Amino acid sequence: MPELPEVENVARALRHHLLNRRCTGLKVRFGGILEPSPRAVRRAVVGRTLVDVERHGKYLVLTFDDPEPARVMLHLRMTGQVFVLDGYRPDKHVHATFQFDDQPVHYRDIRKFGRWTVVGPDWRERELAHVGPDMLTVRFPEWYEAVHRRKAPLKSVLLDQGVAAGLGNIYVDEALFRSGVHPLTRPADLHRDTLKTILREARAVLRLAVNHGGTTFLNFTDFHGQPGNFRSKLWVYGRTGEACRRCGEIVERLVVGGRSTHVCGTCQPLDRRRKPGNQRKRSASE
Ligand SMILES: [Zn+2]
């Protein structure tokens, strides 16, 4: 599922390839992804110039101008992909193709959950009222206020898009490993400094993933099944049963709040509170 780094890569690619270019046509194959209607989306984009691409969490907003501004919000949900590829013949999962002069831009979505939605200039207040500040730019005091009294497992709190937007399953697991904190720990039990470390590590892992093109399949300029290459950099996510890259202990899989969670019990002891920096095993044999 695309998370912040993958969406940021789409934003950068859109800016790089399409900024200040005019959308000259829109071919729709499955109108269900266009809201409120294919006609409304066509009216918002065709004949206008793309002048801005903004990202907030996993949302993108494309602003088209000339003669007056119109905006379309994109959320990729589970399997949405945006790409350009010379000589590509759309398969049955390509639901819309935006034409920018001679440059087709395809929207492909196997699960069809993604949406392109016409929005107003007040999209931040209206469409994202339930969404917290962006994870890459939220200030620590604001984020601390939102999390430090929470008694739910840290993993669930970090996934809560109302707290801060952009972290998903992969990067929460990675951020917690890098912080040495167990996903079941309650934020209310953590020191302010530990929470500061978690925010710092979450951002670091997001930025690193952005720079590696993300973890999933979303390479805008070179769409040949070329995956983002961050996967090889993952510490715990998707590594159940493999050796921890730091200590050699076996990476375990738990389910936290219904989400698959990956943890090294040695590097991320559950009782960190009592022994900060404790790197010992928490096994029964002790
Ligand atoms: Zn470890």
pLDDT of residue 271: 72
pLDDT at residue 86 tops 90: no
Q: Thinking of the domain 140-263, which architecture would CATH place it in? A: Orthogonal Bundle (1.10)
pLDDT at residue 114 tops 70: yes
275 noted as active-site residue:
no
- Euclidean distance between CA atoms 198 and 67, whole angstroms: 46
Query: Dihedral (C-alpha) 188, 192, 194, 197: value to the nearest 10 degrees?
Result: 130
Q: Separation of 259 CA from ligand 1 center, angstroms?
A: 21
pLDDT in tens, 180-208: 999 999 999 999 999 999 999 999 999 99
Q: What is the CA radius of gyration of the chain?
A: 21
Taking residues 8-16, report their average pLDDT.
89
- Distance of alpha carbon 39 from its chain centroid, rounded? 29
pLDDT of residue 215: 62
pLDDT at residue 46 tops 70: yes
Confidence class of residue 228 from pLDDT cuts 50, 70 and 90?
low
Three-state DSSP class for 188?
Answer: helix
Amino acid sitting at position 96: A
DSSP assignments along 61-96, one per residue: EEEEESSS-EEEEEE-TTTEEEE--TT----TTEEE
Q: Higher-confidence residue: 27 or 232?
A: 27
Q: Higher-confidence residue: 232 or 95?
A: 95
| 18 HSE (CA, 13 A, CB side) | 32
Q: Separation of 280 CA from ligand 1 center, angstroms?
A: 10
151 noted as active-site residue:
no
- Euclidean distance between CA atoms 48 and 22, whole angstroms: 5
Which entry of 22, 231, 259, 282 is annotated as an active-site residue? 259
pLDDT at residue 53 tops 80: yes
Q: Where are the domains of the chain?
A: 4-126, 140-263
Which entry of 2, 133, 183, 187 is annotated as an active-site residue? 2
Q: Separation of 214 CA from ligand 1 center, angstroms?
A: 23
Please, where are the H alpha helices in 167-261?
169-179, 192-211
pLDDT in tens, 123-175: 999 999 999 999 999 999 999 999 999 999 999 999 999 999 989 899 999 99
201 noted as active-site residue:
no
- Euclidean distance between CA atoms 48 and 225, whole angstroms: 31
Residues lying with their CB under 5 A of ligand 1, a single-atom ion? 244, 246-247, 249, 264, 266-267
Q: What is the pTM of this model?
A: 0.83
| 226 HSE (CA, 13 A, CB side) | 11
48 noted as active-site residue:
no
| Helix, strand, coil content of the chain in percent (nearest 5) | 30, 25, 50
pLDDT of residue 211: 86
Nearest in space to 96 (alpha carbons), one of 30, 37, 43, 50? 30
Superfamily covering domain 4-126: MutM-like, N-terminal (3.20.190.10)
Q: Separation of 187 CA from ligand 1 center, angstroms?
A: 21
Which entry of 55, 58, 178, 239 is annotated as an active-site residue? 58
- Euclidean distance between CA atoms 171 and 79, whole angstroms: 17
